[in-house]
Amino acid sequence: MANTTTTNELAFVLINPHTIAKSRTGGVIGRFMSRTGLDLVATRMFAPSRKLVEDYAQLLLQAGSQDPKVRKLLSDYVMKSYAPDHATGLPRRVMMILLEGEDAIAKVCEVAGPVIVGGGETIRDTFGDYVVDEYGKVQYFEPAVLIGSDLDETAATLKLWGRYSLSDGGLLQNTVDINTKDPGWQRTLVVIKPDNFRFPTARPGNIIDLLSRSGLRIMAAKVHRMSVVQAEEFYGPVHKILREKMKNQVAERAAKVLTAEFSMEIPGDVKAVLTEQLGPLLGDEQFNQIVKFMTGYYPPNCVEEDRVKEGRHKCLAMIYGGVNAIEKIRKLLGPTDPNKAQPGSVRREFGHDIMVNAAHASDSVESAERELGIIKVEEDLINPWIRKYYG
């Protein structure tokens, strides 16, 4: 049964292999977030096995409030389009997103639109197709996304996919469109930062859309709430740089303030003291502000038990894979300072300043592996949400 302590519901969206292959993932996510006003609480990549596909196709025949003909159409679609590739036997990529909020299931249904698309403004009108011949026989069918039509179907579907989450989900490395043996193949971490999640908006989806120009593949995805401990480890290399970088800046600024206040020149040896004493302090403060931005906790005021808790702020962590992945993603992001980024880059379009700059990406193979070890994008966070609502 659904959780009776809240009026909220948990809804799901399965982004179909065809939609992902056509780089429409960002557009779908952006529309669901902005048009439903729901909270994106979890996401996970799947490479469905034949057993999961068969079980889901059977469930679609039996569950849901749709007409039996529509259920048959969806079931046949899943068997054809979700199943491993016939020629290679390799699985396809599917993304599941979970959305939470009041009347979530009905809102997701409204934005997704009917299975038989019309001429409106729904997800399926934009990204799907339904073509019949002169006799009414379906010639081509692509629903773009699959959703739960009511509470019972939503519960049954989530429990089914939850059972396969560890075996069929997580970090995808051997699918029909991912070949890790290509020369120059790399994987890199992208973190869409908390400033994009202050309220339901299309911004995260728009960023994914911009990154799709890389031609890379999304291998894993997770809604992540970084703890203070994780943030301090993640940004540890930046901390050292900040402590050194601030030395000369703070000395000159402090000397000017003192000169203006006391109408006296500050001797060189005093400036040297300011450099050594104040520089690292300012670097520490800027580092603390970065941690606060990512987690919602200000480290100096954070008690020990809160340091290991998941943060108050969330981000979307993704692993992209492909040839020269690191360079391609960083080029699309642009420089750390949005004001120096090229028009059309992620940081120019969505960034504000050096810290609030929309997204992070690994800058080297070594950094990617270090950061991935901290974030653990392959972690299963959909099952805790399924258990919360459906037991």
User: For the purposes of burial, counting CB atoms within 10 Å of the CB of 5, is it exposed (0-12), middle (13-18) or buried (19 or more)?
Assistant: exposed
Q: Write out pLDDT tens, residues 154-164.
A: 999 999 999 99
Residue ranges, comma separated, of all CATH 3.30.70.141 domains in the chain are: 8-171+377-390
Q: Of 193, 219, 221, 209, which Cα lies nearest the Cα of 30? A: 209
- Determine which of 116-125, 126-135, 140-149 has the lowest per-residue pLDDT on average: 116-125
**Looking at residue 253, what is its pLDDT?**
73
pLDDT, mean over the chain: 92
Q: Residue 388 is which amino acid? A: K
Cβ atoms of 71 and 61 within 8 Å: the answer is yes
pLDDT of residue 59: 97
Cβ(319)–Cβ(187) below 8 Å: yes
Q: Which of 215-219, 263-267, 275-279, 364-368 has the lowest mean pLDDT?
A: 275-279
> 45 by DSSP, 3-state: which?
strand
pLDDT greater at residue 281 or residue 326: 326
Architecture of domain 8-171+377-390: 2-Layer Sandwich (3.30)
pLDDT exceeds 90 at position 258: no
Amino acid 4: pLDDT: 47
Q: Which token pair is 304?
A: 């020990």
Tokens of 127: 């990204």
The tens digit of pLDDT for each residue in 50-97 reads 999 999 999 999 977 788 999 999 999 999 999 999 999 999 999 999
> Per mean pLDDT, which range of 67-76, 242-251, 339-348 is the poorest?
242-251
Mean of the pLDDT values across residues 162-172?
98
Q: What percent of the chain has pLDDT over 90?
A: 77
2 has a pLDDT exceeding 60: no
Instruction: List alpha helices for the chain, DSSP H.
Output: 17-21, 25-36, 50-62, 68-81, 104-112, 123-127, 151-163, 165-168, 203-211, 228-234, 236-262, 268-295, 304-307, 325-333, 346-350, 365-375, 382-390
Res 274: pLDDT: 66
Question: For this structure, is 18 an active site residue?
Answer: no
